[in-house]
Structure 1
Amino acid sequence: MPKTYIPDSREYYENRWFASADEAMFNEVTLAGQKVPFGTNLLFRHEDNRRTSFAIEICEDLWGPIPPSSKHAIAGAQMLFNLSASNELVGKADYRRSLVSQQSARCLAGYAYVSAGPGESTTDTVFGGHALIAENGRILTESERFPTGTEIVLADIDMDLLDHERRVSRTFGPTARRELAGVEYRTILFGGRLQNQNGNLSKPIREVNPNPFVPSNPEERDDRCLEISSIQAAGLATRLERTGIKNVVIGLSGGLDSTLALLVAVKAFERLALPLEGIIAITMPGFGTTERTRSNVEKLCKEFAIPLETLDIRETCKLQLKNLGHSGKPDDVAYENVQARYRTSVLMNKANMTGGIVIGTGDLSELALGWCTYNGDHMSMYAVNTGVPKTLVKYLVSWAAETWVPGNAKETLLDILDTPISPELLPPGADGKIEQKTEDKIGPYELHDFFLFHAIRHGFGPAKVLSLAEQAYEGIYDKITILKWLKLFYSRFFSQQFKRSCLPDGPKVGTISLSPRGDWRMPSDADVTAWLDELETKKD
């Protein structure tokens, strides 16, 4: 594999000794008595698994405006290797790290880079032995520079992930058709398997983040929260500005989602320099409302100086149930949903009265599971949380509490964060505390967000999602528990698509959107059987 770009400036004078691959006059060389393919158009494929493939470029090739690895990738190489002799200078390691990361991202590939080490001559330059492994824009691991001995770095590259990224990309395929016209790659088959340092072929060395939507680094997490908050507020502010509307109506329950929606509304109004009196907050105590959640709503509005209207819906809902011939007992879902739908009708009517729009509060996790009442809390005029998963909602509220809310609002937000997640549609316990807890019914949101990320964002099948979850939650959830909630996730995700087919507008803030106008198009009568059947084979 010859080098394409020959550096010939500053400390490099390679043109004295080497010629570019572009000047090669042959495509084979004799090595150890054998004919060996020679050229930059070499693609190495595994003899048993032809999708596993790699290609090579040399040193300066990565620094070129169009690295040879770009063509290698669109020709089919999933892994790209670079053997380099890059000396160390102040700041150069950061630049090199950025090059490797960006090339792996552009090529939707794994990229392994290794440079010459301290054993080289130090007459005028010093080499650090920098080694890096990246995958689709993310540095997975790297070596310590200037080692005193031999150093090996290892990482798992997820070929399924790379395959998915290339399939869904709408530029990868057309680029291949355009750039590879007239270019013929030669395929070289190889066999065997690479082992890790312990000789273990099966146990992965790659860590799996149990909270894929939430950065583990606190500084990065704060930056993420600021960016999401800005996207949400800008989306709502633009909607208000373009429509000339100066009022919004929001139903507050004292739960996480409606609290985040209120915080977004405050930021949007500040962005437009509108008085907060235009945020019309309504709380509607029902059959399950507790003193704790109602009190938190009142305190939150007081701390933001936002007027709060209280409308007790219990008698009206009892009358509706009576007119329907319902027993009035919490025996079925009608008892719960009559409250959710009545609340939405109140909000819509209030918006008509005030010339405002209803702000939706439901989040991405609820949409994935269909954990919302059709034409109830499912419906609004602009849904600000529609792109935010539940695990991230918690951090956004916590971040707001720590960074910008006024006065005693921090204490109120922290108590809201500590409140069990509940729709509060069923009566509380004898002690007045929440009895109906969402995660007791549908499972932990941290698991469902994990399933959502890997099933939708990465396109992994049920068996792989299960395997990753077992690794991520080892010692927290056993396989039986994970399998139980994963089956529920798939069952609900398929059966509840009809709710996602008619979602109100709302901003996409991350890599997943379930909007039928954006990322997600799925028939409402899709059959989940194949997905559940695959999980059945993993029971033992």
Structure 2
Amino acid sequence: MSITRIGVCTMNQFAMDFNYNLQNIIESIEICKRKQCLYRVGPELEVCGYMCEDHFLESDTVTHCWEALSEILLHTDNIVCDIGMPVIHKSVFYNCRVILLNKKIHLIRPKIYLADDGNYRESRYFTPWSKEIEELELPTFIQKITGQKCVPIGVAILQTLDTEIGIEVCEEMWTPIPTSASQALDGAEIILNSSGSHFQIGKIKERTELFKDITKRNGACYAFCNLRGCDGNRLYFDGCSCIVLNGKVFAKSDAFSLKDVEVTTCDIDLQEIRNIRINIKSRSLMASKQKHFPRIKLHINLTQQQNYVYYRDIPIQYESEVEDSMACYLWDYLRRSGASGFMLPLSGGVDSAATAISVFYMANKIFKTISTIDDDYGSHHKVLNQLRQIVQDDQFSPKSPQEIVNKIFFTVYLGTQNSSPDSKYRSQLLAEQIGSQHYEVNIDEICNACLSAIKPIVKEDPQFIANGGTLSEDLALQNIQARSRMIITYLLAQLTPWNNGKQGFLIVLGSSNLDESLRGFLTKYDCSSADINPIGSLSKNDLKELLDFCYKTFQFSALKLILEAKPSPELRPLTAEGHVSEKDMELTFDELETFAKLRKVQKLGPVSLYKKLRYLWSDISPKQVAEKVKKFFKFYAINRHKVVSITASFHAQSYSCDDNRFDFRQFLYNWRWPWQFQKIDENSE
């Protein structure tokens, strides 16, 4: 048997915080040593953080990475350290892995395929490597530590005294012919992938299947190392690093954890890889024709004489990935922002309830973490100390999640004469059950004051449609209520800590869902305007599933009442039929979700979308389908300006319409779509 042990380090890094990132990296190396690992691999761009974005274009960022690396080098005795950082070579920026051993740099391995789809913009900052091995001259202060003037840069296989290792960087795994496949055919027995792979519903399972497939076909050990946490943007990196051998997952890190550092390891018998390869004859034929990769020799033995622990295949399955990822994202956002808590306008409807329950879910995760002794990483102490710093009480020891919520979460019901007693009750009950400090403010006086201010200008008092007014009057009266709520929310967010004798400010949370944002069914600068919107990339159906899961988990009766209520903004006078959102939108939430998926995921324009729906919605006539499609694109075009300025959203869905990052489109349209709508009409006849 040839047993080796690799340390796969899941890291919660923070973009541009070099002190914090360096501390995590050094801690991970020391943990690897304690676990008797001889190879330590970290995630992509771990030294500076993945989401530095245009900071990558600043030479200071690269300089600071080298400065941090000078300290990391001092910890590399008898352990190979695979470190992620940007590097400049011949005045070109590259996304690289830097291979260290015994205070020397043995290889700088640049990324050869960059991620440029969805949320990724790597080619804005980096250039893919397309050359053979070259020599890179090290910074002078690094030369003094390593005793090297130049080191190799390029794509190569690492050759130790007992095995060969291929290196792959994130996107290379997703290509039609992964780099790992070619390296495995050329003899690499272990493949190491360092990634910055963000959370998206279903992505963990999809990713894991790729690892299992490539190792089953080729015979290999695949160690996937991912970032964890929110490191400065809309994305949450889900962790879930894993070690896969010959198609089976032998070890994995937690996908949704509050640990800043976690080292995953297991014993790998290299002989199992060799036995598999010998017996796959088609693989042998392909391997005999594989182009040769250069070798970089490392004078170290990775196999060890130790008791072999056999690992069984681990299933990768998460029932609450949306709730968990959102909770972890909110915790990172809170502890890194310098804020002392959250503020949310709580209306008693599905959207704001989903945001509120996400904060409770975060508190529940914090409570579980600090209540469980963690001898390996001390995460219970670290998280408790961070929580105490946020609540400004160094003796705070919560006995329940509700106690945590009560310290950091403030909700407010902003009622008007158009609000119903039912929504007020649901809001109050949910706040009571999750533990938030809850306020009630009537904003009728504010709305009336605004109308009084313009009285000398307008010819008469505006009226709702129900009272004989026009659509313009009706919308204006609705919008002044909605915008007043945003103003009061921000006022309370600034004054609440002061009022409670605390320092700091509160982060205002938004609660605008994907469907309404896509349709433009919201008031610009209302409660959709916030500091961060946790639910902005989730559809109404997603949110109902979230609330249903939380109801079954926590048994909060308020959630059941909210799920049973009809969605309504309550901005018009109360009538027998109520003010129902779907009636005003002229499209159902189910229809809007379908439009969102076909438009974004399948990239269908108006005509192609109509042709697709004509078969998906075969229970209605082609003309009815055509009218729905034209109605959607008309509303989309007219209201497009709203999404341009909408609050940044936590990313969770592949069909998110987050304009600022994920869904780039013009914001000025000919809303009549004359050419496209004519083609739809021709096809519907």
> What do residues 184-235 of structure 1 show as CA deviations (whole Å, max 9, x unaligned)?
xxxxxxxxxxxxxxxxxxxxxxxxxxxxxxxxxxxx9xx7761111222222
Q: Secondary structure at 2:320's aligned position in 1?
A: helix
Aligned to 2:605: 461
Q: 1:310 to 1:328 in 2, by over 3 A?
A: farther
CA distance in 1, matches of 2:522, 2:210: 45
CA distance in 1, matches of 2:536, 2:615: 29
Q: Does 1:421 align with 2:550?
A: no
Q: Which has the higher strand share?
A: 2
Q: Secondary structure at 1:348's aligned position in 2?
A: helix
Q: Secondary structure at 2:411's aligned position in 1?
A: strand
Q: 1:232 to 1:441 in 2, by over 3 A?
A: same
CA distance in 1, matches of 2:346, 2:657: 24
Q: Secondary structure at 2:665's aligned position in 1?
A: coil
Aligned to 1:376: 526
Q: Does 1:348 align with 2:478?
A: no
Partner amino acid, structure 2, of 1:247? G
Aligned to 2:677: 532
Aligned to 2:657: 514
CA shift, 1:101, in A, is 11
Aligned to 2:614: 470
Aligned to 2:554: 405
Partner amino acid, structure 1, of 2:681? E
> What do residues 14-65 of structure 1 show as CA deviations (whole Å, max 9, x unaligned)?
xxxxxxxxxxxxxxxxxxxxxxxxxxxxxxxxxxxxxxxxxxxxxxxxxxx9
CA shift, 1:291, in A, is 1.6
Cα RMSD after superposing both structures: 3.3
Q: 1:295 to 1:328 in 2, by over 3 A?
A: farther
TM-score (norm 2): 0.44
> What do residues 234-255 of structure 1 show as CA deviations (whole Å, max 9, x unaligned)?
2211110101323111001111
CA distance in 1, matches of 2:330, 2:558: 24
Answer yes or no: is the 8 Å Cα contact 2:357–2:434 preserved in 1. Answer: no
Aligned to 2:463: 329
Partner amino acid, structure 2, of 1:283? Y
CA shift, 1:440, in A, is 4.5
CA shift, 1:334, in A, is 0.7
CA shift, 1:385, in A, is 0.7
Q: Secondary structure at 2:566's aligned position in 1?
A: coil
CA distance in 2, matches of 1:99, 1:307: 46
Aligned counterpart for 2:405 among listed residues 276, 279, 284: 276
CA distance in 2, matches of 1:335, 1:532: 33
Q: Secondary structure at 2:425's aligned position in 1?
A: helix
CA shift, 1:295, in A, is 1.2
CA distance in 2, matches of 1:521, 1:100: 31
Partner amino acid, structure 2, of 1:286? T
- Count the aligned residue pairs: 329
Answer yes or no: is the 8 Å Cα contact 2:510–2:534 preserved in 1. Answer: yes
CA distance in 2, matches of 1:478, 1:288: 38
Aligned to 2:267: none
Aligned to 2:512: 362
TM-score (norm 1): 0.56
Aligned counterpart for 1:385 among listed residues 535, 559, 566: 535
Aligned to 1:232: 326
Answer yes or no: is the 8 Å Cα contact 1:466–1:482 preserved in 2. Answer: yes
Q: Does 1:317 align with 2:317?
A: no
CA shift, 1:300, in A, is 1.2
Q: 1:282 to 1:458 in 2, by over 3 A?
A: same
Q: 1:315 to 1:537 in 2, by over 3 A?
A: same
Q: Secondary structure at 1:284's aligned position in 2?
A: strand
Q: 1:422 to 1:224 in 2, by over 3 A?
A: farther
Identity over aligned pairs, percent: 16
Answer yes or no: is the 8 Å Cα contact 2:416–2:444 preserved in 1. Answer: yes
Q: Does 1:302 align with 2:432?
A: yes
CA shift, 1:337, in A, is 0.4
Q: 1:287 to 1:398 in 2, by over 3 A?
A: same
Aligned to 1:434: 578
CA distance in 2, matches of 1:457, 1:302: 40
Answer yes or no: is the 8 Å Cα contact 1:247–1:279 preserved in 2. Answer: yes
CA distance in 2, matches of 1:228, 1:291: 31
> What do residues 148-178 of structure 1 show as CA deviations (whole Å, max 9, x unaligned)?
xxxxxxxxxxxxxxxxxxxxxxxxxxxxxxx
Q: 1:328 to 1:101 in 2, by over 3 A?
A: farther
> What do residues 331-350 of structure 1 show as CA deviations (whole Å, max 9, x unaligned)?
32110000110000011111
Answer yes or no: is the 8 Å Cα contact 1:462–1:534 preserved in 2. Answer: no
Alignment of 1:74-473 (within 5 A): 226-273=320-367, 275-277=404-406, 278-325=408-455, 327-330=461-464, 331=469, 332-353=474-495, 354=497, 355-402=505-552, 404-406=553-555, 409=556, 411-429=557-575, 431=576, 434-473=578-617
CA distance in 2, matches of 1:414, 1:241: 31
Answer yes or no: is the 8 Å Cα contact 2:569–2:579 preserved in 1. Answer: no
Answer yes or no: is the 8 Å Cα contact 2:345–2:527 preserved in 1. Answer: no
Give 5+ residue unaligned stretches, structure 2: 1-167, 178-208, 215-290, 292-314, 368-386, 388-403, 498-504
Q: 1:225 to 1:100 in 2, by over 3 A?
A: closer
Answer yes or no: is the 8 Å Cα contact 2:538–2:656 preserved in 1. Answer: no
Answer yes or no: is the 8 Å Cα contact 2:530–2:647 preserved in 1. Answer: yes
Aligned to 1:133: none
CA distance in 2, matches of 1:525, 1:347: 30
CA distance in 1, matches of 2:326, 2:335: 14
Answer yes or no: is the 8 Å Cα contact 1:251–1:282 preserved in 2. Answer: yes
